[in-house]
């Protein structure tokens, strides 16, 4: 029930268990759904103003979250579900005006290390800033908001940028730094994001600040591009709604003019970014957007920066053809890739890029001649706009986003680039010898994807059937429960490079839509890829030795291109019906075909 998202039933059952025995049910999905169900129940009783029920439910949620935190601390594993639960509950505590309790939970989440999940990390920092503002702790709020505003490459959703800047402007206003406050409002219009309703907040605030629009336009301290930027925004919001007379295209044209101009300011006239370096009392205001021409060495302008605050492994592998094409386009220019350090090992031996820690405080994206921000993922944007009729593979989308066009894109080698070194080849050979695998047919199986909606629920049964005829290596990032069959070797919790090194010796790899599919393509290993909500035809279209399987002949809603946060529209649950419908016997039949084709080579 917890795995499928039935939070109401999970909450009811879990609450009926005596508190002393709940530690027997410390599964991350159970606890996450019990907390979410409790929050939904609390919202209902709040409407009825039953104080005793409110306090009772609040006590239950606090105890359940504390149980969740203690269990994760004991095992030194902090899953995404824990941080989601903390965010859910802190939001509700803020609504209940229990600011200190909310802040305490958020601080604990920070200590556990939320940077592994950038979207969650940003949410937690935003909520802490909101609490600090409510408590009048402006220094603390400023530190958080300025950190985010000055490092947009850490923000995975550009829709969050305007709220961060607007809140920061209010903090500086309260602190008495009027000039910084005004610059932040203009900066809010300069950042590139497409939601025009968010832009209206900045226009309204500027109008309230200057009383009359012409005062800003005539103000000598404001540069011409910013004046024009404000003017086109102001004019857009003064337009009547032409949709009422079926001339809505006029509003759309003006919106495109605004976004086109903003794009130009950000990507064509980068040297005109404002410098916000200023100090006021105890508040120290760094340059949120630094002047591109100041204190920048000539050779730095020749460097190219690519930023990506989050994973995953599959996405990074799909980016590598684009990186290689970019290096071929600019062979004399240094390409720096700023990513979380935990992904550095993926690029060992890759000479196309030089790695930088994206958390490096000295990283300044405006000191580079070119900057490509993949934290704001171009593939996700295009897929969300075109779903379910997605035609372009992520390899092509990433390559285009790096400026590879026309002939270079046509000549692009779309094979992911991953390099196994000599030591890892020896490791693989040693593993084969120690486990008596030489001369046998060995099938590698990735047990789970990082995202549950992509998982094949019959994977253990598949491993059991495979073990009757083949030697099977089972890979997973967590301790493997089950799969205790003859001819099965479980590899869990080993490093990524060790797992890939051993997997490179497999005759065939079977995996859900995840990293091993793209790794297999990089090594020309035959692969059976199991797909559901995501279109396997698009995702694997460039993989010569990959055969994708799905259940589209049984379920016509496939592919729907949903993600982890969107439930299956057939069941309203987290698990994907389409994944469970992939026939196990068909997988076994296709495996025999792949092995036969490999033997003929």
For the packed helices 99-112 and 80-95, what is the interaxial angle rounded to 10 degrees? 160
135, 164, 192: which is the final residue of a domain?
135
For residues 131 and 196, give the distance between their C-alpha atoms in angstroms, rounded to a whole number: 27
272/290 Cα distance (integer angstroms)? 10
**pLDDT value for 48:** 83
Alpha-carbon distance of 406 to 39, in angstroms, equals 52
- pLDDT of 193: 80
The residues, ordered by sequence, that sit 6+ positions from 410 with a Cβ below 8 Å of its Cβ are none
Instruction: Evaluate if residue 486 carries a pLDDT over 80.
Output: yes
Q: How confident is the model at residue 194 (pLDDT cuts 50, 70, 90)?
A: confident
> In the structure encoding, which two tokens stand for residue 55, read together?
């306090």
Q: Which residues of 475-484 are buried (b: 16+ CB within 10 A; e: fewer)?
A: bbeeebeebe
In the predicted model, is pLDDT for residue 484 greater than 90?
yes
Distance CA 432, CA 526 (A): 19
pLDDT band, very low/low/confident/very high, at 4 (cuts 50, 70, 90): low
If we measure between CA atoms, which residue out of 75, 87, 93 comes closest to residue 26? 75
Of 87, 119, 135, the position where a domain reaches its end is 135
369-396 average pLDDT score: 92
The answer to whether the CB of 503 falls within 8 A of the CB of 300 is: no
The answer as to whether 228 is a domain residue is no
How high is the mean pLDDT of the chain?
88
Give residue for tokens 């047990």. 447
Overall domain count for the chain: 3
Cα four-point dihedral sign 311, 317, 318, 321? positive
pLDDT of amino acid 340: 94
The pLDDT value recorded for residue 242 is 82
Least confident of 99-103, 177-181, 218-222, 271-275: 271-275
On the 0-12 / 13-18 / 19+ scale of CB atoms within 10 A, 359 is middle
| Predicted pLDDT at 265 | 78
The answer as to whether 271 is a domain residue is no
Residue 202 falls within a domain, yes or no? Answer: no
- Give counts: helices (H), strands (E), the chain: 24, 12
Domain membership of residue 521 as a residue range: 422-600
Residues 377 and 475 in one domain: no
- Whether the per-residue pLDDT at 416 is higher than 80: the answer is yes
Is residue 251's pLDDT more than 50?
A: yes
Can you give 449-502 as a three-state secondary structure string?
CCCHHHCCCCHHHHHHHHHCCCEEEEEECCCCCCCCCCCEEEEECCCHHHHHHH
Is residue 246 pLDDT above 60, yes or no?
A: yes
Percentage of the chain exceeding pLDDT 90: 58
Q: What pLDDT, in 10s, does the model give residues 86-101? A: 999 999 999 999 999 9
Cβ atoms of 37 and 8 closer than 8 Å:
yes
Q: What does the pLDDT read at residue 543?
A: 96
**CA 184 – CA 178 distance, rounded (Å):** 10
Q: Is residue 84 part of a domain?
A: yes
Please check whether residue 510 is in contact with residue 446, taking contact to mean a CB–CB distance below 8 angstroms: yes
Q: Length of the chain, please?
A: 601
At residue 92, the pLDDT reads 95
Burial (0-12, 13-18, 19+ Cβ within 10 Å), 539: buried
Lookup: tokens for 185: 């409002």
DSSP string, 225-240: HHHHHHHHHHHHHHS-
The model's pLDDT over 154-181, given as tens digits with 9 standing for 90+, comes to 998 888 888 899 999 999 898 888 888 8
Contact 133, 164 (CB under 8 A): no
Instruction: Quote the pLDDT of residue 447.
Output: 94
Alpha-helical regions (H) of 268-353 = 313-329
Find the mean pLDDT for residues 436-441: 95
Cα within 13 Å of Cα(374), Cβ side: 29
CATH of the domain at 465: 3.40.50.2000
Query: Which pLDDT does position 261 carry in this prediction?
Result: 86
Question: Is the same domain home to 316 and 365?
Answer: yes
Question: 561 or 311, which is more confident?
Answer: 561
The beta-strand segments (E) located in 195-350 are: 278-280, 283-285, 304-307, 335-339
* Shared-domain flag, residues 488 and 432: yes
- Among the residue ranges 335-344, 367-376, 428-437, 581-590, the one predicted with the least confidence is 367-376
Asked whether residue 498 is domain-assigned, the answer is yes
456 and 396 in one domain? no
Do residues 534 and 398 both lie within one domain?
no
Task: Report the range out of 149-153, 201-205, 382-386, 499-503 with the highest average pLDDT.
Answer: 499-503
Do 430 and 406 fall within a single domain?
Answer: no
- Decide: helix, strand or coil at residue 32: helix
Domain endpoint, select from 78, 100, 135: 135
The kind and range of the H/E element at 525 are: none
**Are residue 429 and residue 337 in the same domain, yes or no?**
no
pLDDT of residue 537: 95
- Portion of the chain with pLDDT greater than 70, in percent: 93
From 546, 465, 558, 560, select the one nearest 512 (Cα to Cα): 546
Q: Decide if 153 is inside a domain.
A: no
- Per DSSP, the residues of 185-206 read HHHHHHS----HHHHHHHHHHH
Has residue 505 got a pLDDT over 70?
Answer: yes
Sequence-separated (6 or more) residues with CB below 8 Å from residue 250: 239, 242
Cα–Cα distance measured from residue 529 to residue 514, given in angstroms and rounded to the nearest whole number: 9
Task: For residue 412, give both structure tokens.
Answer: 């692009």
Both 482 and 567 in one domain: the answer is yes
- pLDDT at residue 116, rounded to an integer: 84
Question: In the Cβ-directed half-sphere of 320, how many Cα atoms lie within 13 Å?
Answer: 21
Among 134-148, 214-228, 255-269, the range scoring the smallest mean pLDDT is: 255-269
pLDDT for res 268: 59
- Among the residue ranges 141-155, 242-256, 545-559, the one predicted with the least confidence is 242-256
pLDDT (0 to 100) of residue 300: 67
For the entire predicted model, the pTM comes to 0.86
Establish if 29 belongs to a structural domain.
Answer: yes
Of the candidate ranges 124-133, 250-259, 292-301, 566-575, the one whose mean pLDDT is the lowest? 292-301
Locus of tokens 């690029």? 347
Please check whether residues 427 and 384 belong to one and the same domain. no
What pLDDT does 272 receive?
Answer: 43
Res. 302 pLDDT band, cuts 50 70 90: confident
C-alpha span between 409 and 571 (Å, rounded): 41
Comparing 130-134, 202-206, 236-240, 495-499, which segment has the lowest mean pLDDT? 236-240
Residue 372 pLDDT > 80: yes
Question: Which stretch of DSSP H or E encloses residue 512?
Answer: strand 508-512
Q: Measured between alpha carbons, how far is 514 from 535 in angstroms, rounded to an integer?
A: 13
Residue 47: pLDDT band by 50, 70, 90 thresholds?
Answer: confident
Residue 2: per-residue pLDDT: 57
Domain membership flag for residue 53: yes
Same domain, 14 and 116: yes
pLDDT, tens only, 397-414? 999 999 988 788 888 889
User: What sign does the CA torsion over 409, 410, 414, 417 have?
Assistant: negative
d(CA 68, CA 77): 11
Same domain, 397 and 435: no
| Order of strands, sheet of 335-339, starting from the edge strand that comes earlier in the sequence | 354-357, 335-339, 304-307, 370-373
Same domain, 488 and 591: yes
């Amino acid at each position: 029930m917890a795995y499928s998202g039935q939070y109401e039933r999970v909450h009811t059952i879990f609450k009926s268990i005596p508190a002393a025995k709940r530690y027997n049910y410390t599964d991350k999905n159970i606890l996450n759904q019990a907390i979410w169900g409790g929050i939904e129940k609390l919202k209902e009783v709040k409407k009825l103003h039953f104080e005793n029920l409110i306090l009772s439910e609040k006590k239950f949620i606090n105890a359940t979250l504390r149980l969740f935190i203690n269990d994760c601390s004991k095992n030194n594993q902090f899953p995404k579900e824990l941080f989601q639960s903390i965010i859910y509950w802190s939001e509700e505590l803020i609504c209940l005006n229990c600011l200190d309790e909310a802040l305490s939970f958020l601080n604990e989440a920070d200590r556990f290390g939320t940077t592994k999940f950038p979207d969650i990390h940003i949410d937690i920092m935003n909520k802490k800033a909101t609490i600090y503002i409510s408590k009048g702790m402006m220094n603390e709020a400023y530190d958080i908001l300025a950190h985010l505003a000055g490092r947009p490459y850490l923000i995975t959703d550009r829709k969050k940028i305007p709220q961060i800047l607007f809140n920061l402007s209010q903090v500086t206003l309260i602190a008495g730094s009027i000039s910084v406050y005004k610059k932040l409002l203009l900066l809010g219009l300069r950042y590139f994001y497409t939601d025009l309703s968010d832009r209206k907040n900045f226009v309204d605030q500027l109008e309230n600040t200057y009383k009359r629009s012409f005062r800003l336009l005539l103000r000598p301290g404001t540069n011409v591009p910013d004046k024009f930027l404000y003017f086109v925004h102001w004019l857009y919001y003064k337009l009547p709604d032409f949709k009422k007379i079926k001339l809505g295209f006029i509003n759309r044209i003006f919106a495109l003019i605004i976004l086109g101009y903003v794009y130009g300011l950000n990507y064509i006239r980068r040297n005109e970014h404002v410098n916000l370096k200023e100090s006021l009392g105890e508040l120290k205001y760094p340059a949120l957007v630094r002047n591109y021409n100041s204190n920048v060495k000539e050779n730095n302008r020749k460097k190219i920066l690519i930023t990506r605050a989050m994973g995953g492994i599959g996405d990074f592998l799909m980016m590598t053809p684009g990186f290689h094409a970019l290096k071929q386009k600019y062979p004399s220019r240094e390409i720096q890739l700023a990513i979380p350090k935990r992904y550095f090992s993926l690029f060992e031996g890759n000479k196309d890029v030089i790695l930088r820690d994206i958390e490096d405080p000295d990283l300044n994206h405006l000191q580079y001649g070119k900057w490509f921000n993949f934290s704001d993922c171009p593939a996700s944007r295009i897929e969300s706009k075109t779903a379910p009729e997605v035609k372009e593979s992520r390899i092509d989308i990433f390559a285009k986003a790096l400026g590879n066009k026309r002939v270079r894109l046509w000549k692009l080698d779309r094979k992911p680039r991953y390099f196994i070194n000599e030591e890892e080849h020896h490791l693989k050979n040693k593993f084969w010898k120690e486990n008596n695998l030489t001369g046998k047919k060995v099938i590698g199986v990735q047990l789970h994807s990082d995202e549950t909606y992509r998982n094949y629920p019959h994977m253990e049964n598949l491993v059991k059937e495979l073990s009757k005829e083949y030697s099977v290596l089972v890979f997973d990032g967590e301790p493997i429960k089950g799969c205790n069959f003859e001819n099965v070797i479980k590899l869990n919790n080993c490093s990524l490079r060790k797992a890939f090194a051993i997997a490179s010796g497999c005759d065939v790899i079977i995996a859900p839509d995840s990293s091993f599919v793209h790794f297999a393509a990089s090594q020309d290993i035959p692969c059976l890829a199991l797909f559901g909500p995501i279109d396997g035809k698009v995702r694997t279209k460039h993989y010569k030795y990959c055969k994708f399987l799905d259940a589209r002949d049984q379920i016509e809603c496939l592919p729907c291109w949903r993600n982890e946060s969107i439930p299956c529209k057939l069941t309203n649950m987290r698990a994907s019906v389409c994944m469970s419908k992939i026939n196990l016997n068909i997988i076994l039949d296709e495996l025999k075909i792949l092995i036969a084709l490999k033997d003929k080579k």
